[in-house]
Structure 1
């Protein structure tokens, strides 16, 4: 347990300091490659029969994708981690810290969304659209300045749970093996969990599993973010964050995505969400929050600060619980 506590804390600090350097290979990209290759292989044998037969085949293939990706991810991460500890406890701590670092994404979120803020602040809307396209799934070619800022804010707010708090909780609970299994599910959902013609049936299993795995972490993340808003100064409104979360946390097709997004909207006093275009098709979405004021580029930085402070609070709480259990 003491090795896990040390590695867990060190991994968080590594993420805070270095983020995701482009020149280093990253295991999540490897998981993405595995998902793409497995999908291609599974779909090669799709039946040419009626729509019912195709839908059934795609659902079976989607379930098989989940099993293959989780088995490979779990076995490889366990082999690396336990192999390192078998060689030497010190090596095990180092490898576990690096694996924990690779699971978390707080610094990466901050860096990538800050690129959007920088371009908006410089008055370069086209470059801001390109920057935000790297971190969102929606179409960005025709977004206004406010639309670009909202897209970046929503991504940081939603990924406060998906990219930071949820993987942190799973890693604290089950080490990097469980952390990487969570990341594999999350990556599958981001790649095949769309409700369009191509993935409606094939991605169903991945999307449902992602909903289940994020159900509790999303709500824990929201509560932590509300608490953070209360102690983060005059730029944030804790009471309003609580009120909007209670009112709007279900205003999304996913049971989890609006949890932290609604807290952020309330804390900043802005309105998020609304209709968005995906693959050329407009998807109707309800608004989250109240338009107390217009969204501005600086709200990207405010959201990043809220996300990062929430991450620190969660890390400290996790370490406190782990130490209490160890003692």
Structure 2
């Protein structure tokens, strides 16, 4: 007898309630170190397969990279679906509890806020060394010698960009397919972070992973920009007039087809400028600027970025309510 499928229908009211509970669980607990995290296991599989498959002529590496993306993403979905199905035979409540936990592992609202505040707190206290160390834990750029404005910029950009990867995109895919599809998205995101970036080693092997991640984030990134703007209507001090047009104009300047949308929106809402010159391993890497610098970036802007982050995912969930109710009514 085959396992029963998970109980939650896409865009159902019961699934939306479970997702909201998962968000609360993430906000309360974050990612406890003692609890095994699915992304860690996914990363280990990717690393092992990359070592075994990333060799030979470019065409062979490209083909194996496509197999890697299909195997990791499809395997993650199938494993999660099977586990939930088996647990449903044992006890429906056990399956629900497991899906709640799995959904929470795909979210990073608390972790993102904590990482940003780890930069903001010492920066506010004038401890530049501690702020630089904290920022170096979440960005790839060089942080040595950065002043308050540049440290704040790095933290604000991290919060804005990862609002999509760490919160709203998992919510989007969870609404369509529960924990299995949300975990498949996290597998896509992990593939991109490990093998999708541009370098001689991954240029061919990681192409499929990078393109898949771009596709998975395309709609969530743009919806997130919209929900950040909607949240700003209720956040005092926001410069929300005209920022939709500014964001649409500026977002394509970003080297990523998706990251520019939340970054440009946050920059325009706060009246600051993001982007500019970064250094990686001592090498300069100029980026297009986003936003108009009405204000100089300070530690206080990091907390404002966190406020927009929370407002953005909350508006994201609230926008799902009428869609869910419409579906329930039609059915």
Ranges in structure 1 where 5+ consecutive residues have no aligned partner: 48-52
Kept in 1: contact 2:139–2:154 (CA 8 A): yes
Q: In the TM superposition, what are the counterparts of 1:87-166 in structure 2 within 5 Å?
A: 87-166=90-169
Equivalent in the alignment of 2:3: none
Deviation at 1:193, TM superposition (A): 1.7
Equivalent in the alignment of 1:180: 183
Deviation at 1:68, TM superposition (A): 2.2
Q: In the TM superposition, what are the counterparts of 1:76-95 in structure 2 within 5 Å?
A: 76-95=79-98
Count residues in correspondence: 318
After TM superposition, the score normalised by the length of structure 2 is 0.91
Q: In the TM superposition, what are the counterparts of 1:218-233 in structure 2 within 5 Å?
A: 218-233=221-236
Kept in 2: contact 1:188–1:206 (CA 8 A): yes
CA distance 1:202–1:278, change in 2 (3 Å): farther
Deviation at 1:198, TM superposition (A): 2.1
CA distance 1:130–1:56, change in 2 (3 Å): same
CA distance 1:242–1:152, change in 2 (3 Å): same
Kept in 1: contact 2:81–2:180 (CA 8 A): yes
Deviation at 1:246, TM superposition (A): 2.3
CA RMSD of aligned residues (A): 1.7
Local SS of the residue matching 1:7: helix
Equivalent in the alignment of 2:71: 68
Per-residue CA deviations over 1:94-132 (Å, capped at 9, x if unaligned) read: 111111111111111111111111121121212111111
Single out whichever of 213-222 and 72-81 deviates more from structure 2.
72-81
Kept in 2: contact 1:169–1:318 (CA 8 A): no
Of 197, 200, 219, the residue aligned with 1:197 is 200
Local SS of the residue matching 2:253: coil
Deviation at 1:73, TM superposition (A): 1.0
Equivalent in the alignment of 1:32: 43
Local SS of the residue matching 2:141: coil
Deviation at 1:3, TM superposition (A): 4.3
Q: In the TM superposition, what are the counterparts of 1:287-298 in structure 2 within 5 Å?
A: 287-298=289-300
- 2-structure distance, mates of 1:321, 1:242: 23
Kept in 2: contact 1:6–1:93 (CA 8 A): no
- 1-structure distance, mates of 2:147, 2:242: 27
CA distance 1:4–1:275, change in 2 (3 Å): same
Equivalent in the alignment of 1:274: 276
Local SS of the residue matching 2:248: helix
Equivalent in the alignment of 1:20: 31
- 1-structure distance, mates of 2:226, 2:285: 28
The structure 1 segments of at least 4 consecutive aligned residues displaced by more than 4 Å after TM superposition are: none
CA distance 1:316–1:86, change in 2 (3 Å): farther
Per-residue CA deviations over 1:303-326 (Å, capped at 9, x if unaligned) read: 000000111121233244334423
Deviation at 1:249, TM superposition (A): 1.2
Local SS of the residue matching 2:284: strand
Per-residue CA deviations over 1:208-260 (Å, capped at 9, x if unaligned) read: 111111111111111111111122112x1111532421221111122111001
Q: In the TM superposition, what are the counterparts of 1:256-271 in structure 2 within 5 Å?
A: 256-271=258-273
Kept in 1: contact 2:277–2:285 (CA 8 A): yes
Deviation at 1:301, TM superposition (A): 0.4
